[in-house]
Amino acid sequence: MDLSALRHSASHVMAQAVKMLWPEVKLGIGPAIEDGFYYDFDKPDPFEPEDLDRIEDKMRDIIRANYKFERQEISKEEAIKIFKKRGEKYKLELIQEIADDKVSIYKDGDFIDLCRGPHVESTGKIRAFKLLSIAGAYWHGLETNPMLQRIYGTAFETEEELNDYLVLVEEAKKRDHRLVGKQLGYFSLNEEVGPGLVLYHPKGAMLRFLIEDYIRREHLRRGYQLVLGPHIMKSDIWIQSGHFEYYKENMYIFKIEGQEYAIKPMNCPGHILVYKSKTRSYRDLPIRYFELGTVYRNEKSGVLHGLLRVRGFTQDDAHIFCLHQQVEEEIIKVIDFVIDTLNVFGFEDFAVEISTRPAKSIGKDEDWDAAHHALSNALKRKYIRYSVNEGEGAFYGPKIDIKLKDALKREWQCATIQCDFALPERFDLTYIGEDGKEHRPIMLHRVILGSVERFTGALLEHFGGALPLWLSPCQVMIIPISEKVMSYAKRVEKLLIENGIRAELDYRNERLQKKIRDAELEKVPYMVIIGEKEAAENSLSIRSKAQGEMGRLMIEEFMQMLQKEIKEKVR
């Protein structure tokens, strides 16, 4: 059975059930999505969580009736009459947007919906489904339009598959980086600051430092040069690059002394101007510029989501300027860089897609074809399977997207490699070739982690907040049993910190079991329990988050064990 058709049918039945329970509700749209389906409703009063049970019960009645899904193709005029009589204003708007003279509707029982399909044969084919949540959604995704209520659900062929999925959903709720981030004190999003702008607390700032420190060192090791650009630039630059034409609604624009500026949404124009600052030779290429660049994008408030979708974020952004004959090899090197990095951070699987030319774009067809060939050939040479995402490339070139898969097999968009012939032409970038003449370089835009914010969110959910030792903001919690051993505990803390171990001393006047429990809740990798015997012997009683009680170790022995685990980045 086609899972997409099954879920689309379940969405249709959900809308039918809602209309039976609340006839005054107006229908929006209800597509199948990756993990299920949704339907948007215009209802005067908000849906309550208990309403989902009522809707499910009514859906079961419709399923038991086993109505056949009947498709009819009718004229737009006839469709307008049908939905005008039913008072479905959103359906009337959708009909007006359809270019064809005819539209398709689906009928089951007394219910009619404007729909392209496909559906399963009858409502009785829908056996395993569950309604999951209620959210708000602007009609057509525009904030100027009415806010509708969206009900999400999912459907599978069997109850077993549904139950397996629901277990994953519950686990995902526990791992939600917003919940974990708040519980562990990593970050906060404060309305006083503004939506989509992150405040990193000490632990979150340390985690971010560790991620950025690793990625910065790796770039230097792989032949990249560090550059740094301003956060604002004159609008002329963004007009020349094409961002004003294709991206202006997502940019923050303002004036200073009559001159228009924009806060940068991308780092590429700055890197281009560094390249253009002097004459380049073919012997200089490839040139790889790298910047941990903070950018700002005017995302709609409705799509903001914790660290995953924000308005201010930092990219591990690089641009590679190279010869035509170097493009494929440079793409392969970036692919290797991505895979190596994912493995280091504990992500063992990924999915890859190539996105092709969008309707709004710049550049010549032959350049787009050459860029697409370079990207696809690099993946073929690496024996990496990929799918094609038609029309979703950048406005200046096609791209490879590498989506990491976390512990729950969910995909997260992070790394991307974009092949660009257009911007080098717009900025008249050149190098002196072997023949002494000017030639045009090819430009690769690429990120490895992508947004550091998004990657941090994915990392927290992947590990459920229980980060490996090398990434843990606090690696060792020192817990003295009594005040009598506090002096020794402080010496241990000092020695660990001096040897590069991030240690904290729990000096609170609390019971031992509470201190241990609190360290467990904070997901600290190691606890050091210090009593009078440990103080007398210069030893430590070790408790590991992963292994439990480890017995006593001498201080030097413990530090060597930690340093080895950190160096090897054990997961």
Active site residues: 268, 297, 315, 317, 319, 399, 445
Both structure tokens of 252: 């923050």
Pair 130, 166: CB distance under 8 Å: yes
Sign of CA dihedral 85, 86, 92, 98: negative
CA distances from 181 to 169, 191, 471 (A): 19, 17, 15
CA atoms in the 13 A half-sphere facing the CB of 458: 25
Report the C-alpha gap between 181 and 165 in whole angstroms. Answer: 24
Give 44's contacts (C-beta < 8 A, 6+ positions apart): 24
Report the C-alpha gap between 371 and 354 in whole angstroms. Answer: 11
Report the C-alpha gap between 369 and 251 in whole angstroms. Answer: 30
Report the C-alpha gap between 287 and 165 in whole angstroms. Answer: 47
- Pair type for strands 349-355 and 399-405: antiparallel
**Tally of CB atoms within 10 A around 1:** 10
Pair 459, 470: CB distance under 8 Å: no
SS3 content of the chain, % helix, strand, coil (to 5): 40, 30, 30
Both structure tokens of 365: 């067809």
Length of the chain, please?
A: 571
144 exposure class (CB count in 10 Å sphere: 0-12, 13-18, 19+): exposed
Beta strands in 345-421 (DSSP E): 349-355, 387-389, 399-405, 411-420
Both structure tokens of 92: 């009337």
Sequence-ordered alpha helix ranges (H) in 176-230: 177-184, 202-221
- The backbone torsions φ and ψ at residue 274, rounded to the nearest 5 degrees and listed phi first, read -65, -45
Both structure tokens of 114: 């404007």
**Tally of CB atoms within 10 A around 457:** 25
The three-class DSSP label of residue 562 is helix
Pair 245, 325: CB distance under 8 Å: no
Give 262's contacts (C-beta < 8 A, 6+ positions apart): 232, 233, 234, 235, 238, 251, 252, 253, 254
Residue in the block written with tokens 């990249």: 224
